[in-house]
Amino acid sequence: QEELMESGGGSVQAGGSMSLSCSYTPGNYYCMAWLRQGPGKERERLATIYPVDGKTFYADSVKGRFTISRDSAKKTLYLQMNDMNPEDTAMYFCAADSRWAACATGGSGLAVWGQGTQVSVSP
């Protein structure tokens, strides 16, 4: 019954910016996150936000370039991506989990997922 849906994907040139959104149904999520999976690669956790206190964490690959945020009233999760490079080309997913352990690992083992949105960055 919990559901997430990403939007905002597309193509951009290196150095450009892009914003992603993720609408979600009500749920007692301990964390919400953005992940991506590039061609031939494993899914990578990019950013995590904890609604209880607003604390955020970022993978080194996107730290300083990407920003995760959440609007509880609009029930929407956001990912602002700046200074993008071709290595950012991937399918991007939003996800959520009610379990502290799953949230804290920084891995991809989260309970609820969106369908993904494609992001392509050209050189």
Amino acid 98: pLDDT: 94
Residue 97: name the closest of 36, 45, 41, 21 by CA: 45
Amino acid 107: pLDDT: 82
Amino acid 26: pLDDT: 85
Mean pLDDT (the chain, rounded): 95
What number is the average pLDDT over the span 93-101?
Answer: 95
Is the per-residue pLDDT at 87 higher than 80?
Answer: yes
Is the per-residue pLDDT at 108 higher than 90?
Answer: no
**Tokens at 8, concatenated:** 């905002």
* C-alpha Rg value of the chain to the nearest Å: 13
Residue 20: name the closest of 93, 107, 71, 87 by CA: 93
CA distance 58 to 110: 16
